[in-house]
Amino acid sequence: MRVVSYNVNGIRAAMRKDLIKWMQEDNADVYCFQEIKANEEDIDKEAFASIGYEGAWFSAQKKGYSGVAILSKSQLENVQKGMGAEQADFEGRVIQAQVDGLDIINTYFPSGSSGDERQAYKMKFLADYLIFGEQLLEEKEHLLVVGDYNICHQAIDIHDPVRNKNSSGFLPEEREWMDDWFNLGYVDTFRQVNPHPHQYSWWSYRANARANNKGWRIDYISCNEELKERISDAGIMQQALHSDHCPIFVDIN
């Protein structure tokens, strides 16, 4: 099974850039989208159905903001929207579903880059999510937690760790949270397969950052220890150009 995670930075904008054609050619089993920025009724769901995908959508209450979705070739079972945290659920940040016995939790973690108030909310969300993640490990046997985590874990995950040491997304307390996350019993699937530097999943639109590969790896697919030995491949799909992010994937035997 191939699972793809992709912050599309607006599902309708990505569809105008041939997202459907790309999915048809890529042909993964499951796509997890973050930052769909659309109400469900405003999305052309028939376009996804026409290439064989059924979807579960969780939009933010605020129009044109946040939101997540899971699309699958196989039936989506046990779909749950939200994580039981009022603001996170108001912002449409978490959706989960079971696909062929695999539990997939798709999350769009908050950014703190717009100021102190959002950074404080991000840290609260992270604290709540650590508890949520621990519960998931107790309840789920085969588990993937995918999404835009909005954090670079280590210096290898960012193009300029020195100058970004005080930037939201690479703050010491955020990186410590990533340590805590993986210490819970989660595995960074990409780093199981690829130890090399200069592997990024997001680039600023400024200063030709993508062409110069001055990026950040802030998108992750985490699995529990039970799935670790079943990872056959994982990677970053930098050729996809529908967003300021690119997709990432994991193949599970």
**Which residues are tagged catalytic?**
148
Q: Which amino acid is at 31?
A: Y
Number of H helices, E strands in the chain: 8, 14
Phi then psi for residue 55, to 5 deg, are -125, 155
Give dist(CA 149, CA 168) in Å, integer: 12
- List % helix, strand, coil for the chain (3-state, nearest 5): 30, 30, 40
Provide the angle, in degrees to the nearest 10, between the axes of the packed helices 172-184 and 116-139.
Answer: 10
- Spell out the SS3 assignment of 54-83: EEEEECCCCCCCCCEEEEECCCCEEEEECC
